Amino acid sequence: MATTPKRELAAVSCPYCERETAVSIPTPDAELEVRRSVALFGDHTTVACPDGHSFWVYFC
């Protein structure tokens, strides 16, 4: 059976309503940048807050 690496979670605030949302991060020391729009490049994930707003979190 294959194992998946354990990923850390971090809390970020939605840029629309400021509600906190948990996001999975690749490394514990990753710097997070929350954006309302997608950029052309960069390691990121798409997140939806509890109110249904979609935004992007980039890992630096």
Quick check: is 38 in a domain? yes
b/e 30-56 (16+ beta carbons within 10 angstroms → b):
eeeeeeeeeeeeeeeeebebeeeeebb
31 or 41, higher pLDDT? 31
**What total of structural domains would you count in the chain?**
1
Quick check: is 2 in a domain? no
Quick check: is 45 in a domain? yes
Quick check: is 24 in a domain? yes
Q: Give the predicted TM-score (pTM) of the model.
A: 0.79
Quick check: is 1 in a domain? no
| Residue 38, pLDDT score | 86
Going by pLDDT thresholds of 50, 70 and 90, the confidence category of residue 5 is low
Q: Which structural domain, as residue segments, surrounds residue 22?
A: 8-59
